[in-house]
Amino acid sequence: MLRREFLQCLASSAVLAEPSGRPNILVMLCDDLGYGDLECYGHPVIKTPNLNRLAEEGVKFTDFYAAAPVCSPSRTGMLTGRTPNRAGVYDWIPAGSPMHMPRSEVTIASLLRSAGYATCHVGKWHCNGKFNSPEQPQPNDHGFDHWFSTQNNAAPSHRDPTNFVRNGQRVGPLKGFSSDIIVDEAISWLDRYPKDRPFCLFVWFHEPHEVVDSPEPLVEGYSRATKKGEALYYANVAQVDQAVGRLLKKLDESNYRQSTFALFTSDNGPETLNRYPNAWRSHGSPGPLRGMKLHLYEGGTRVPGILRWPGRVKPGSVINTPIGFVDLLPTLCEAAGVAAPRDRRLDGASFLPALSGKPLNRKQPLYWQYNHALGEMKVAIRDGDWKLLADAALNRFELYNLRTDISEKNDLSAKEPKRLNAMAQVLKDLHADIQKP
């Protein structure tokens, strides 16, 4: 093959080579970061040089989806590869609540730990109400060897949190900001974990969820912000970017760069400004999308998604294939050579084919159900370019072509009756199946 032809082949694919060996895995998850909050996703003010570089060195997904428009079910969907309603996690989980991700659920971490991976979770957990209690499963029960976590938000704020627990032991008051504290823990763990094993590291930031607090030098960098709380929010996103930069630098210095699948994303869309009294710092942006957190329109579930996988993914790639959190478990199982669970219904599909421009072997559309969603629409599916939303009774529908109408302005349900009826039947059948448990 001529060199010119070889380069043309590379240009047509996001993949440079087939993976060799089992990759290390790093999943970085933000809390309430909007689709439009990063510089590389079009924010006109916030500076995110480290995440810009991550996108330049890897793949930026344009159609990346959380499993729910709110935190706890979204995280459950990411860990299990299943629509979170199947697991009974249907809303955010208050402290002390009986709601939790059941012990019977099989997570990415438990599968990888059984296959020899060293596993670690740092940051926000929010998959149970009775945190650090024997009454409900904790991160170690769901596959994490080491955990340094909080039930929900860093409290009293991101600054000097007091509510972290390390492997079942309360840590007490800490100095500094949450993003730095959890990255420090992640780096410390990377220095100590057994080097004869691959690692699986979940870094779940609290930022930029309320109650927002940010270092003064970063806040001062956004002195032109005029709205109350705006500079605090912008600085909070910039703070996460700096923490990500430190963590990626650690991977490089430890020679993990080439062997690591490193994903950055967010658990749902941005919080609405002033939705509740403490939300006056919530200046997140959904970009061109309709809706925000708690909506089933795109702004509630479509989130940033950036993947760096050196030697496997072509730098600077952009992928438009719809990818969801529920796809992560089957993807990582395939990448690590681990069998995915066969005794339960998985709702996701491996997205490794999408990295080389091939279609996913998706057996069903991406699905969302949130009974407390703002607005009339409570259920939605996405199938290819098309998205269908339904009310709680599954009687009223809205239909959008997201490839031509990213802002969901033009309801095509009246103009596309055949497509509407076909998708409505798929939605109803899937909805009924998910309600069974």
Radius of gyration, CA atoms only, the chain = 21
Q: Which of 126, 146, 158, 295 is catalytic?
A: 126
- Provide the pLDDT for residue 20: 53
**126 counts as catalytic:** yes
- Provide the pLDDT for residue 115: 97
Q: Which of 71, 120, 127, 333 is catalytic?
A: 71
Give pTM, 2 decimals: 0.95
Q: What is the pLDDT of residues 117-173, one digit of tens each?
A: 999 999 999 999 999 999 999 999 999 999 999 999 999 999 999 999 999 999 999
**40 counts as catalytic:** no
- Provide the pLDDT for residue 437: 80
Tell me which residues of the chain have a pLDDT lower than 50: 1-13, 15-19
